Amino acid sequence: MNNSRRIEESLRETIISRPDMILDDKDLMNALIAANERSVGGNIVDLRGIAMERLEARLDRLEDTHRSVIAAAYENLAGTNQVHRAILRMLDPVSFEPFLRDLDGAVAEILNVGAIRLVLETAQPEADETVERLAHILSTAEPGFIDRYIAPGSDAPQRAVTLRQVDHGATFIYGDKADRIRSEACLRLDFGAGRLPGMLLMGAEDAHQFTPQQGTDLLAFFGGVFERSMRRWLS
């Protein structure tokens, strides 16, 4: 009996000296509240208990939101680092052909996409030797092709970046990889006054990698760096 009393006194002293230990324990607090409700009887409405339940539900929702925000921040940081690495790799080559070949090699690998392709509008249909050697990466098309490809039948100004899901990629652009493409990012390129536009395409086998609901700031930045690099080679 004395031993039991000693344990109770010890527990009592611990609770008195460290009440936060009880307050921070969600299961203990729920047990205490439930015991209090049983003691007052079922015909009494405990407004304080109802308020606590509502506050607890709001806290749970707040914690879920907090976790989602943190997860999104980490994802954005990872995406930013990924794009920065791809840009640094893209700027390494000192001549045009390695610059383009890297797009569908190291750069595509860093960005985790299945294929990267470049389309240039041209008023001269005949291809030169460079275009033929890079045919698996570079395609040429007649003026107006890019607008029709991005938004068929639309006269509205085109956005710098368009993300969408597709049943398959265009064979004319993706070649033997076309059947595996399920989503793509279309980056419209401006090469300066007096030059026809271009388009950089990133094709992914994952249908959810590029969707219209996603943000495009990082890809717009990547496209801006790419088009400025291309101006050097086109000058």
State the pLDDT at residue 149: 93
Here the tokens at position 215 are 């943000």
State the pLDDT at residue 12: 78
State the pLDDT at residue 118: 95
For 74-80, the CB contacts below 8 A with 24+ separation are 79/218, 80/218
Q: Is residue 55 in some structural domain?
A: no
Q: Is residue 33 in some structural domain?
A: no
Q: Is residue 111 in some structural domain?
A: yes
d(CA 138, CA 121): 11
Q: What is the pLDDT of residues 99-156, one digit of tens each?
A: 999 999 999 999 999 999 999 998 876 667 777 888 889 989 999 999 999 988 776 6
Question: What percentage of the chain carries pLDDT values higher than 70?
Answer: 83
152: containing domain: 94-234
Torsion of CA 27, 30, 31, 37, to 10 degrees: 180
State the pLDDT at residue 44: 55
The pTM of this model reads 0.68
Q: Is residue 4 in some structural domain?
A: no
Mean pLDDT of 82-87: 93
State the pLDDT at residue 69: 77
Q: Is residue 8 in some structural domain?
A: no
Decide which of 127 and 79 is more confident.
Answer: 79
Mean pLDDT of 30-48: 63
For CA atoms 113, 147, 214, 86, the dihedral sign is: positive
Q: Is residue 81 in some structural domain?
A: no
Decide which of 214 and 25 is more confident.
Answer: 214
pLDDT greater than 90 at residue 187: yes
State the total domains in the chain: 1
Q: Is residue 38 in some structural domain?
A: no
Q: Bridge partners of 204?
A: 183
| CATH number of the domain that residue 229 is part of | 3.30.450.40
Question: What percentage of the chain carries pLDDT values higher than 90?
Answer: 43
Question: To the nearest whole number, what is the mean pLDDT of the chain?
Answer: 83
What is the number of alpha carbons within 13 Å of residue 44 lying toward its C-beta? Answer: 9
Q: Is residue 87 in some structural domain?
A: no
